[in-house]
Amino acid sequence: MTADRPQAAAKKPSSPLREARAAFARNKAGVLGLVLLTLVVALAAIGPFVYPVDPFEIVSAPLTPPLHDAAVPLGSDYLGRDLLAGIVHGARVTLFVGGAAAAMTVTIGIVIGASAGYWGGRIDGLLMRLTEFFQVLPPLLFAMALVTLFTPSIPIIAFAIGLVSWPAMARLTRAEFLKIKPLGYVAATRSGGGGDGYLIWRVILPNAAPPLIVSAALVVGMAILFEAGLSFLGLGDPNVMSWGLIIGANREYIIDGWWTVTFPGFAVFVTVLGLSLIGDGLNDAFNPNLRER
Amino acid sequence: MHAMSVLGGRLASAATLLLCVIVLNFLMIHVAPGDPAAVIAGEMGGVSEEILAEIRRGYGLDQPLHVQLLRYLGKVATGDLGYSYYYNVPVIDLILERLGPTLLLLFTGLTFAIVVGVLLGVMSALKPDGLLSHAITVISLVGYSAPVFWTGMMLIIVFGAVLPIFPISNMRDITVFGGPLVRALDVAHHLVLPAFTLGVIYMAQYSRLCRASMLEVLKSDYVRTARAKGLSDRVIIGKHALRNAILPVITIAGLQLGQILSGSVLVETVFNWPGLGTLAYESVLRRDYPTLLGILSFSAVMVILINMLTDIVYRLVDPRIR
């Protein structure tokens, strides 16, 4: 048995991936999701340069309706701050927190799920107990407690969201590992001299990737919703403008100023919708047999 | 015998979870930056040294950590979750006072989600490519992607400004007087929007889930057998297929309980519903740590208990698990 044999066994032929990409491209909803997300990312990347108005500066009369004052095209909030500036500048914060929190969720989930699924036995029992424990804590309340105790700042918020949302990811990873571990090519790689680390990271994980990638797309969306919820409850970082912060700040004025909550909420909605559509599209692309769902 | 041992195992694991929740609560008070006595005092700022010393003695904070933990466990076991610094009453009293409205909202929202979700799911499974199937997919995608508090606010704008047929805030109208029936109707009237907001996302999810499992079940051998026996569609769907199609919905609803409770925090805040969620929100604003942590542990206990209940319901619906 040569040294490159395990690798050959582990590597998927590239054609299924290409097939999946083609299937995704044919999926109209998935492509629409990609377009939506690209627009939001572009807004976050270049928006602040194109529209450099300070979102915290008071530039007009309070609660100016949209299309009434050229200075505030989307209207102003209860203090007279430019709503469009808030949405443009908030895109970065929202995406950053969502991305960081999702990265944490996925990392913890995969490490715990992979360890539980790979080693099994007592380690599995212990880790699953831990997962179960984190699942009975209502995520939002848990995150609220964490953020309140440690003062709201971007890293704490991202950390709190990651810490409360990993269990689903861990369960999924574990299930995939349990499915793949008994397969012939894993045993073949092991007998070829592959160590635990090699088996976990280079053999099983790549083959478990498709459902994990789908779920990661959804996790980013969930993290963005989560951040919006926390800021709505007044637990966002008060020094940086995010979409949730705008909604939370204006929540007493929704009847007199519907635009103050409608537009930033719509921005959250479009972003998460884009991510959900991408997730669905990827799911269909990876599982051609499951399209009917 | 077997059922008893299964139940015993469930109880043991529930007890372990409970213990973990309390220990976590304890740790969070201690890991938080600053003096735990100050945290318990609510970081009122300028708290006199005497009061802090009093709190330290009262909570045994001058003792070693493991002694403190044991004491804390003893306190919690007797239902003592500490004092709310804002109201200066036991946290458990505050929680029990707000529990009813939250349970009412949760129960109504979830019942709506499950009943309507299953109904729509079954109907769309009978016509897999019909309009309803597509509508459900779209609603569930939209419902999933829209922040729940935003959905609630959009409803407030519609029903507060445009079409004022439902109240948009609170649980009761203080100008409504009358007998218990009148008051119950008043509460039900106030319940419509919050319960709908909370339930509609899950309704769409459950209908998708139910549709998928129904399509699966309708292809199975025993349904074909039932059909071959000449049973009517009604009996086949109502008696044979539906039971199995509901199971995944109950499982998921049980697993999502913590999440639904989280959603209810936001929905309650939006609609000023006087439940645990608004209490949590107020505690955040007032930096009332004992109350916030008390709500967290109490909700976890509630999730553990309801999960056990779900388990029992599951056994009733599915006679194979016994």
Least confident of B58-67, B195-204, B243-252: B58-67
Cross-strand pairs, A81: A58
Residue appearing with tokens 């179960």: A132
Question: Which of B153, B285, B295 should we substitute to test contact with A (largest number of A Cβ atoms within 10 Å)?
Answer: B153
Question: Which of B17, B39, B149, B308 should we substitute to test contact with A (largest number of A Cβ atoms within 10 Å)?
Answer: B149
CA-nearest residue of chain B to A275? Answer: B145
Query: How is A133-188 classified by DSSP, letter by letter?
Result: HHHHS-HHHHHHHHHHHT---HHHHHHHHHHHH-HHHHHHHHHHHHHHTTSHHHHH
| Partner-chain residue, chosen from A137, A221, A293, that has the shortest CB–CB distance to B296 | A137
Closest CA to B265 of B286, B290, B301, B295: B295
pLDDT band at A61 (very low <50, low <70, confident <90, very high): confident
| Cβ–Cβ under 8 Å, residues B44 and B50 | no
Query: How is A28-60 classified by DSSP, letter by letter?
Result: HHHHHHHHHHHHHHHHHHHHHHHS---TTSB-S
pLDDT score of B60 more than 90: no
At A4 the pLDDT is 47
pLDDT score of B268 more than 90: yes
| Partner-chain residue, chosen from B147, B161, B208, that has the shortest CB–CB distance to A228 | B147
Residues whose CB falls within 8 Å of the CB of residue B317, separated by 6 or more in sequence, listed in order: B243, B246, B247, B250
pLDDT tens by residue, A207-217: 888 888 888 88
At A291 the pLDDT is 47
Average pLDDT for A269-288: 85
The two three-digit tokens of residue B306, written as one number: 């309801």
| Cβ–Cβ under 8 Å, residues B121 and B210 | yes
Question: Which of A40, A137, A246 should we substitute to test contact with B (largest number of B Cβ atoms within 10 Å)?
Answer: A137
Contact B284 A233 (CB under 8 A): yes
Q: Is the ipTM of this complex over 0.85?
A: no
| Partner-chain residue, chosen from B150, B255, B280, that has the shortest CB–CB distance to A261 | B150
Closest CA to A12 of A291, A210, A187: A210
CATH 1.10.3720.10 given to domain A42-54+70-287: yes
At B210 the pLDDT is 86
Contact A247 B153 (CB under 8 A): yes
- The Cα–Cα gap between A42 and B39 comes to 43
At B36 the pLDDT is 64
pLDDT tens by residue, A74-103: 777 777 788 888 888 889 888 998 999 999
Closest CA to B62 of B44, B93, B36, B96: B36
Average pLDDT for A43-53: 85
* Percentage with pLDDT > 70 across chain B: 90
Contact A265 B146 (CB under 8 A): yes
Question: Which of B16, B106, B134, B145 should we substitute to test contact with A (largest number of A Cβ atoms within 10 Å)?
Answer: B145
pLDDT tens by residue, A206-253: 888 888 888 888 889 999 999 999 988 888 888 888 888 888 888 888
pLDDT score of B284 more than 70: yes
Closest CA to A5 of A209, A204, A185: A185
CA-nearest residue of chain A to B281? Answer: A233
At A2 the pLDDT is 44
CA-nearest residue of chain A to B277? Answer: A141
Residue appearing with tokens 């003062």: A151
| Partner-chain residue, chosen from B16, B145, B259, that has the shortest CB–CB distance to A272 | B145
At B59 the pLDDT is 65
Query: How is B110-148 classified by DSSP, letter by letter?
Result: HHHHHHHHHHHHHHHHHSTTSHHHHHHHHHHHHHHHS-H
- The Cα–Cα gap between B103 and B272 comes to 15
Could you tell me which residue, B291 or A112, shows the higher pLDDT? A112
Q: H-type helices in chain B, by residue range?
A: 2-31, 36-41, 49-58, 65-77, 91-126, 131-145, 148-157, 180-218, 221-228, 233-235, 242-255, 257-271, 276-285, 289-317
Could you tell me which residue, B108 or B214, shows the higher pLDDT? B108
pLDDT band at A289 (very low <50, low <70, confident <90, very high): low
pLDDT score of B23 more than 90: no
Highest mean pLDDT among B51-65, B96-110, B170-184, B302-316: B96-110
Interface of A with B (CB under 8 A): 129, 132-133, 135-142, 144-146, 148-151, 221, 225, 228-229, 232-235, 244, 247, 251, 254-255, 258, 261-262, 265, 268-269, 272-273, 275-277, 280, 292-293
At B305 the pLDDT is 84
Q: What are the boundaries of each domain within chain A? A: 42-54+70-287
CA-nearest residue of chain A to B168? Answer: A255
pLDDT band at A36 (very low <50, low <70, confident <90, very high): very high
Residue appearing with tokens 């991305």: A99
Contact B307 A136 (CB under 8 A): yes
Rounded to the nearest angstrom, the minimum Cα separation between B117 and chain A is 16
List C-alpha distances in Å: A289 to A282, A292, B214.
13, 8, 17
Contact A229 B24 (CB under 8 A): no
List C-alpha distances in Å: A191 to A184, A186, B302.
11, 9, 49
Rounded to the nearest angstrom, the minimum Cα separation between B102 and chain A is 14
Residue type for A34, please?
L
Task: Compute the C-alpha angle A59/A61/A65, nearest 5°.
Answer: 105
The two three-digit tokens of residue B214, written as one number: 């129904």
Helices and strands per DSSP (H, E), number in chain A = 13, 0
- Residues in A touching B142 (Cβ below 8 Å): 269, 273
3-class secondary-structure state, position B155: helix
* Percentage with pLDDT > 70 across chain A: 92
| Partner-chain residue, chosen from B17, B215, B299, that has the shortest CB–CB distance to A133 | B17
pLDDT band at B41 (very low <50, low <70, confident <90, very high): low
pLDDT tens by residue, A171-201: 888 888 888 878 878 778 878 877 787 877 8
Contact B153 A254 (CB under 8 A): yes
- The Cα–Cα gap between A268 and A227 comes to 10
pLDDT band at B267 (very low <50, low <70, confident <90, very high): very high
